[in-house]
Structure 1
């Protein structure tokens, strides 16, 4: 759940156009798919797992 929360915050702050396009078109084009992959690759480098 923490991964999802941080990922959503990341997308909202750095790639809001991805979320907007999904909401508007309710479809994922090849171009949007490429943007999503780039964003997720970038997110993997900044994700901070919770410490116990």
Structure 2
């Protein structure tokens, strides 16, 4: 069996990889008052910012 782990050295590298492989998956959910969801960002939207 081969080792297929990727070398990811920074958070930016990780977010870029996720934006390519899972662009529509939610990366962050901002909580307006600590409980109420106000904004969700996908990996693609986060990378584009």
Shorter-normalised TM range? 0.3 to 0.5
Larger radius of gyration between Structure 1 and Structure 2: 2
Higher RCO, Cα 8 Å, sep 6+: 1
More helix by share: 1
More strand by share: 2
Q: TM-score, normalised by structure 1?
A: 0.31
Q: TM-score, normalised by structure 2?
A: 0.32
